[in-house]
Amino acid sequence: MKNYYFNKNLEFSIENENKQQILKPNQVRIRMRNCGICGSDIHYFLYGENGGRKIQEPLILGHEAAGEILEVGSNIKHLKASDRVAINPALYCNKCNYCKGQKFHLCENVLFFGSASKMPHTQGAFREQFIVDKDQCHLLDISTSFEEAAFAEPFAVALHAAEFVHYKKNPKVLISGCGPIGLLLLKVLLNKVSEKNIYVLDVNENVLKRAKKIGNINTINIDNNPSFVKEYINYFDVCFEASGNTNSINNIVELSKRGADIIQVGNMPGGLIEINYNKVMIKELKIQGSYRFTYEFDKAVKKINKKEYDFQDILTHKFKLENCAEAMKIASDKDKSIKVQVYN
């Protein structure tokens, strides 16, 4: 079994794991079939860290995974070998106050696939096989492809962000940042908001053209249209910051009307930004962080199984697992790609 490790020198290495780990009663052995590349993977790949979490030992990247069950533990009755599943990358402790309050995404002891937040690091899905807890497995319909299922995790992130807003009649909505999360959020919002009232900002024409194909919405290249902020000052009821760009949040403060909702979805590099908090106070803006997901993962899988959403217009590249280094390079180039997956 091959594992694809990424190290603090920003290099991939392949290690063969010859000894198969024995399953615990509630564990499941998975053959990875498809895994999407997330912005957090790209941060690790380019900088050796993500959100201040630095790679300190070899790390297997990848957390947007779907696969086939090879073996189940002795306590498991609802799953069997050959079942096809989407994998929730988060293993919650079910003991902390957040878990007891059903706020699992805030779990103090969560183990999250492909993350350097703890030592030892929690290894991800860029490997031929891995073991998960039974609760991380969500069954797929026979008609659901592994490609579709690998969208469950980022789709759940978009669903979670959209849940923070109570959509009044005909709101004006802004999405700043149109990477995969921004585009998935756009798909969700098109079921809640008139497309003529949705505005998408980015600096990349590739993603803006992709957004325009998803819906007849308003797209603005903010680099080419610097006057947009002045022209639409105090205009938007709801703003989603999905770029992680430090300039974006200050533009949003200007663009938001009094009492607007601002949802922060993008991960800010370093986390520290300057913001005009007097305007936040005077306009009574509500700034809400949106982190991962809770029950939305199960909701995402159900919607994918029901074919409620199509993701082919976001998936631009697929690579064999053995070519994961090349996949990461392409995923890092937003002029060439939107969502990239590896498959096994």
Task: Give pLDDT, residue 127.
Answer: 97
- Both 283 and 303 in a single domain? no
Q: Answer yes or no: do 51 and 120 share one domain.
A: yes
Same domain for 147 and 31: yes
pLDDT digits (tens, 9 = 90+) for 122-178: 999 999 999 999 999 999 999 999 999 999 999 999 999 999 887 778 899 999 999
Local confidence band at 241 (pLDDT 50, 70, 90 cut-offs): very high
Q: Are residues 26 and 140 in the same domain?
A: yes
State how far the Cα of 122 lies from the Cα of 109, in Å rounded to an integer: 12
Same domain, 20 and 131: yes
Encoded tokens for 258? 């009094």
Structure confidence by residue, pLDDT tens digits, 33-59: 999 999 999 999 999 998 888 999 999
Q: How far apart are CA 23 and CA 71, in angstroms?
A: 8
Same-domain check for residues 284 and 312: no
Residue 199's domain comprises: 165-289
Q: In CATH, what number is assigned to the domain containing residue 246?
A: 3.40.50.720
Same domain for 8 and 68, yes or no, is yes
Alpha-carbon distance values, 57 to 117, 122, 190, 267, 316 (Å): 11, 11, 42, 23, 31
Q: What angle do CA 301, 306, 308 make, to 5 degrees?
A: 95
Q: Which amino acid is at 309?
A: Y
**How many structural domains does the chain have?**
2
CA 136 to chain centre: 16
Domain final residue pick, 270, 289, 308: 289
Closest CA to 141 of 66, 34, 63, 38: 66
CA distance 87 to 123: 14
Average pLDDT of the chain is 94
Confidence check: pLDDT of 244 > 90: no
Asked if 103 and 169 sit in the same domain, the reply is no
Say whether both 169 and 77 belong to one domain.
no
Statement to judge: residues 9 and 32 lie in one domain: yes
What type of residue sits at position 174? L
Which two structure tokens, joined as six digits, stand for 117? 């937040």
pLDDT-derived band at 269, boundaries 50, 70, 90: low
pLDDT tens string 294-316: 999 999 999 999 999 999 999 99
Residue 240: helix, strand or coil by DSSP? Answer: strand
Contact 200, 248 (CB under 8 A): no
Look up the CATH number of the domain holding residue 135. Answer: 3.90.180.10
Residue 279 shares a structural domain with residue 338: no
Phi, psi of 77 (to 5 degrees): -115, -25
User: What pTM did the predictor assign?
Assistant: 0.95
Locus of tokens 């392409």: 330
In 82-151, alpha helices (H): 97-100, 146-149
Same-domain status, 111 and 202: no
Calpha distance 151→146 (Å, rounded): 9
Segment 103-127 mean pLDDT: 95
Tens digits of residue pLDDT in 199-218? 999 999 999 999 999 999 99
Alpha-carbon distances of 280 from 132, 174, 247, 267, rounded to whole Å: 43, 17, 15, 20
Residue 343, CB half-sphere, CA atoms under 13 Å: how many? Answer: 11
